[in-house]
Structure 1
């Protein structure tokens, strides 16, 4: 499954970038995130509780960031296992550019699902993934806005 899109964020690109590389921000923005901790190799140990249709699970996995280009973007690859619910793998490229009054965040992601998750259908999974993304961006916009308020004289 592929997910591509853009989101306008009402903040300067440097601030959006600062938030996108901040582990605490990512933990706060990821819906259902129960655990987000950096490992010695630079990857992150992640636990996310999610419901996809009738399937509810805690997905435990690893996220790895690469191809960092400051204020421009990066690549994230991750995998998670939800036990009997199945597993998922994700790779996504994130790119930032200046936009009217803020920053445009562009993403191109590919997800692979296995187990029960793969059996429930791409339409339902796509709907849940789009809601997850919308919640993520709403939380990110709020946190970036709070930073802007604290930085104002």
Structure 2
């Protein structure tokens, strides 16, 4: 899977850089993120819940920053295991460029998925990845511009929507374990 996009952040580059390197802020903004714990220099262990089509799983993984050129760019190497749901791994190149009083953030992701997630099909995987990225940037923008309460409300709203979805749809686990 490949995904490339540019986002305009309404804050100066130094503020955007600091926010992108703040684990607690990232935990608030990453959809389904439960925890981000330090794991060495410029590396973190993550736990998160993600849904791709009918497959919903808890993933544990690691992310590490490489090729750091503060405050311009870095590369994020990541990998995660979701048990029977499968795995994901890849790299994301992130760069920040000043744009007046704002910042242009450009990223290019190359990732691989395997297991049940890969069986779902690339269209659903790509759509889920884009939705996660859009949700992240909406929350991130709210937090860095001072609307952290709105970001928390967005996270609570997402949880409520997922709970409603869970009541309306049968999960992949229930489907495959049915005799």
Q: RMSD value over aligned CA atoms?
A: 1.2
Separation in 2, partners of 1:40, 1:6? 29
The answer as to 2:113 corresponding to 1:122 is no
Structure showing greater relative contact order (alpha-carbon pairs closer than 8 Å, 6 or more residues apart): 1
1:46-57 → structure 2 map (5 Å cutoff): 46-57=46-57
**Residues 70-111 of structure 1: per-residue CA shift (max 9 Å, x gap):** 110110011111000000002000000012440000000001
The answer as to 2:70 corresponding to 1:70 is yes
Q: What residue ranges of structure 2 are gaps of 5+ in the alignment?
A: 148-179
Q: What residue ranges of structure 1 are gaps of 5+ in the alignment?
A: 148-153
1:49 Cα offset (Å): 0.2
The TM-score with structure 2 as length reference comes to 0.79
Separation in 2, partners of 1:46, 1:58? 10
The TM-score with structure 1 as length reference comes to 0.92
Runs of 4+ in structure 1 deviating by more than 3 angstroms, as ranges, are none
Separation in 2, partners of 1:141, 1:41? 26
**Residues 94-130 of structure 1: per-residue CA shift (max 9 Å, x gap):** 0000124400000000010011111100000111100
* Residues 65-74 or 124-133, more deviating: 65-74
Q: Give the number of the structure whose residues are more often helix, by fraction.
A: 2
Partner of 1:12: 12
